[in-house]
A and B are shown apart, each in its own frame.
Chain A
């Protein structure tokens, strides 16, 4: 039923897939997500709907291969069926005509910011996009962002492409240069926290999209609870977008910690995690030819 009809590798460990899901494609709003179970017996993973096409009834997802479930999803090829896709879940991003809007994203956050940029542009805002990446290798969605935004800035941590430095450094420059009406930030907790501090000094509203560990995304378990203004709220039902000034980042980083420790455990475990891949194939081929 949920058939993969297109798949493309767009950066290191990042794949873009199009899945047929008519009822989701007809209703998806910017900022919403789906819960995907790649194969029977795997976890379900929350994934932002990067794009949706009602006429072709497809949704586009970006798969960042970090754990076993995302790896299995990345391993599926065109024509295969995904076991389960539930959605669209969460609330839509807050969107209106504000004026000048800056959208900052780091890492996989770029996939989440793209639909928001598109929605903001449609409402008639001037949109400046900032994408932060570790290096050029893992930079993604650059061309799509250039189409959607009025202006796009790119920073890489190692300086391998465009500007060297952090996305928040660039944000600070822009905030000093222009009169900004609103900021959207998605990425690591530290980045969002810094962005929230910067905007607080200048009294600019900021919206952040939080990615805590989610179990089913239906508001059933309270696993994705985050502290907003001193009150626990659920990222899957009340969010995932919140007012950046009200988020308790310390609590959030503590809650995200869980996931990181689990990922570590997964990575160090020897079975089935390591794939030979192209490099392994070449190595073995070299071995045979040399002999």
Chain B
């Protein structure tokens, strides 16, 4: 639930308005955090929203799902009670009257094709359209939104908030074509033939890095995105009945790994009536999600353990039975506290469903289709740091495909940067 006016004002009053704000460098987008909180304190949500929108085109989305690196940088973080900047942003987005000015692209002007309508593509489209450049987004799925639509459950980001963003983008003159698979339905030369000056690849990184734990091939083992996609594919309305029928998830679920997707999958499983344990090799602070989500997850009954998964066990028919794990112990050495596997006997956690969250990498299809593209060691797309162009002429990249994973707010920042690079490139033409 979002904040009401009273709580929002109380929370914004708590902000000390530091002279040198520590939260500022925490935000990848560079939002003027103390500035908008000051405006909220004065009770002016509209002005606060304006202030946020200067740097962040989608405060509704960030207000719901941002991992809030700024809160970790807050001066109150050490006390365990940082200012809830994300919730304040959400309050501003929900209560401020935003005005969408209608912009139409210059007739006969330059056009850019964006591949993928995830957060990076949306943000690039927003900034390009604002500069009166014609933008067409090609999306492979039936509805735009990418990961925001297909992998983030409804309870974290309402689909309505997402639809609103797209109707705003359409007002800015952005054309969104769905059901178009780049390299299958629409080839790269056809895009250039249609008169686009450049292509921006915002295809994201949603493919899991395949895990090497023995037993990943067993029935009932899912990767994080696979699990979320499957439940989304089944449909929002019938999710609970169908999920019961399909036995995803089983009565007991073990999530191996960390990150936002791991916690999303875990919390979705809890909502479908499963008992969930999250295990990963690290301290709780390294879970990859904000303190708030950790707390909420624990309140929902999810157990979080520092453990090392050794093997996934199955029965004779190939269905998952449990996970063999080893406890991790806290050891102190010169560098500080460390976790090390204990010498005790491994523990077996019972589970009918196992979800593995082992990181992400870009889609393989792009590598097959455009072998000219250069890729970095870590699996991310290579691009010139200065010009932003990939190894192919007139092809740019942004978002997770460039970083091989990362949060939504980083993707939005990536899209913003790519838009600047493209505008710069169009100027040289």
Contact = CB atoms under 8 A, between A and B. Distances in A.
A89 B207 CA distance: 17
B179 A221 contact: no
B364 A234 contact: yes
A284 interface: no
Contacts of B245: 265-266, 269
Interface string A215-234: 11011111101010000101
A27 B185 contact: yes
Interface stretch (A109-117, A128-136, A153-161, A253-261): A253-261
B229 A86 contact: no
Nearest to B223: A222
B239 to A, nearest CB: 11
Contacts of A219: 207, 363-365
B350 to A, nearest CB: 19
A89 B181 contact: yes
Given A24-B185, A27-B185, A258 B219 contact: yes
B367 to A, nearest CB: 9
A60 interface: no
Contacts of B206: 220-221
Contacts of B317: 257
A44 B179 CA distance: 13
Given A86-B140, A218-B141, A222-B210, A262 B185 contact: no
A88 interface: yes
Contacts, number: 108
B246 A265 contact: yes
B195 interface: no
A87 B364 contact: no
B79 interface: no
B334 interface: no
Interface in A236-291: 237-238, 251, 253-255, 257-258, 261-262, 265-266, 269
A170 interface: no
Contact of B365 (A88, A215, A218, A232): A218
Contacts of B295: none
B7 interface: no
A223 to B, nearest CB: 5
A215 B226 contact: yes
A218 B319 CA distance: 27
5 contacts: A42-B235, A215-B226, A219-B207, A219-B365, A222-B226
4 shortest interchain CB distances as A-B pairs: A254-B318, A221-B226, A251-B217, A232-B210
Interface of B: 140-142, 150, 179-181, 184-186, 206-208, 210, 217-220, 222-223, 225-226, 229-230, 233-235, 237-238, 245-247, 317-319, 363-365, 368
Interface of A: 23-24, 27, 37, 41-44, 83-89, 91, 215-216, 218-223, 225, 227, 232, 234, 237-238, 251, 253-255, 257-258, 261-262, 265-266, 269
